[in-house]
Structure 1
């Protein structure tokens, strides 16, 4: 039996288990995690980074209403005030910090450098963790002029990178993926590009789909991708709408890239060094792990990409320099760890006392070597879209 993928036919194969034993493991960490394994061979080609788009994702999906106000919404958005049936409201379910008296806020002011992009290329933008908040993503992209009122690419030769974590917690993770896939095709046609990195929630969703309740080795005992996915905001509506094309797209995402001297990655961890000494090595190794389809090996990858806070505190700058020395670049730009976590003590989410922080932009830290882009949309924060480079 064959599966059609963007007009091409790819033979379906059964994943082989190599029997490799992976030691270590950890308990599930709050916040972000990611995927499992691909099913079938993943072939690196010259066109891979163009992110082939299925026909259904190339045009906006009409709303589930005849109301013209809601028609033409990009992605698979649901009408305002009507979450999808079966949606588990985990939105804003993470704790937020309490930093003092009422009205205390976290203000981070950074502006893009006006210097032109090298080689005449268009401006460079990055997007932090989306976690299924499609409406917030559409609003943030429109505010930067990257899409028009109909949700189509409007930024010409601009370059746009998503830092991973498209699904879980929010109501429409599959709609987010569909939008990013469609924008990648539209941006390429306009002379720019829209690309994405692999976050730990991509690994988590792939693992939940591919392995389900298959036990995996964990330092904390037996675990499963299915249980971890549910614990970390996995949505039944996303799983029900998940198609092979989404799985293939996620499994092909790179883990790390360099753009204009910015080292872009999802997680604030040095665990990338476990997978290679160059950017190409890391990406090839990650893709190979997913292609082999060994549940234990994929869990170990997911576990490592879930680590966080390596760039914070006293040893943070040195950890950043270690990655920059290996992979190049002058600054790291990452998502994964919400900015409120990086800025202070985590408190409760009650919010009754008005003490929630307000995140207005990226957080520059680690002696100015790291830029955090997860504005904490899942914890009443902000979905960040930022032009690079920054002047701070």
Structure 2
């Protein structure tokens, strides 16, 4: 009997809700009852914002890092703006990130329990990935276009910015990833098309902007395809009472 084709899943903006992440991954067959990888050749893409706002951001980091070790090449994590903020707090505390971190739901335990090894891992996270016809990013911004004209070039450039000894690189990435809503409105389809023309794919899959805010409704909805089908928003707004959405990109 032929085996089922491998699937690719995306999830975003977990924001410390580790228990919800575990339930979602179990329901999809990606982890077992002991929270070990059981997804075989399936792939998982976490589109950033593991930390802040919720109860156990450090637990989320520990889980996804362990799954990466258990399933090399199958579990991928992209950098979100909250990870950049954590780097700014850790590496450049004199730059005034504290009030920004507090306004954005900073959790003291998350910051206190980060280790130097975690910081090294965060600085090496990519910001972009291609999965078939899907261009995966954290933020619904076109700032990526200023960082390179291929997926590999963007990821390499952002890593170089985050590892600069001076604070300007982290500040630039923070400003870029903090932008949002570039694919809404009359120019939205054109903006999404500019991303796809540069990096490939037929739709941009992103978190960062909660689906409900894009719809103009209360949290509780599923994903949102918009910009003429060129964008797919998957942040259900878990920290704001919405669902944590695990999306099967191969469906």
Q: Shorter-chain TM-score: what band?
A: over 0.9
1:264 aligns with 2:136: yes
Counterparts of 1:297 and 1:181, CA distance in 2: 25
Cα deviation per residue 1:335-365 (whole Å; 9 max; x = unaligned)?
Answer: 11011111016xxxxxxxxxx4422x21111
Listed as ranges, the matches of 1:1-392 within 5 Å are 122-188=6-72, 193-212=74-93, 214-215=94-95, 224-344=96-216, 356-359=218-221, 361-390=222-251
Runs of 5+ consecutive residues of structure 2 not aligned to the other structure: none
Counterparts of 2:219 and 2:44, CA distance in 1: 27
Which 4+ stretches in 1 moved above 2 angstroms? none
Q: Higher helix proportion, which one?
A: 2
Instruction: Decide which structure has the larger Cα Rg and report it.
Output: 1
Runs of 5+ consecutive residues of structure 1 not aligned to the other structure: 1-119, 216-223, 346-355
Q: CA RMSD in A?
A: 1.7
Counterparts of 1:205 and 1:248, CA distance in 2: 12
TM-score of the two chains, using structure 2 as the length reference: 0.95
Deviation at 1:121, TM superposition (A): 6.3
TM-score of the two chains, using structure 1 as the length reference: 0.62
Paired residues in the alignment total: 250
Cα deviation per residue 1:133-179 (whole Å; 9 max; x = unaligned)?
Answer: 11111111111111111111111110110000000001111110010
- Secondary structure of the residue aligned to 2:106 is coil
Are the equivalent residues in 1 in contact too, given 2:161–2:169 (CA < 8 A)? yes
Cα deviation per residue 1:20-73 (whole Å; 9 max; x = unaligned)?
Answer: xxxxxxxxxxxxxxxxxxxxxxxxxxxxxxxxxxxxxxxxxxxxxxxxxxxxxx
Deviation at 1:296, TM superposition (A): 2.7
Are the equivalent residues in 1 in contact too, given 2:220–2:236 (CA < 8 A)? no
Counterparts of 2:85 and 2:158, CA distance in 1: 14
Are the equivalent residues in 1 in contact too, given 2:14–2:21 (CA < 8 A)? yes
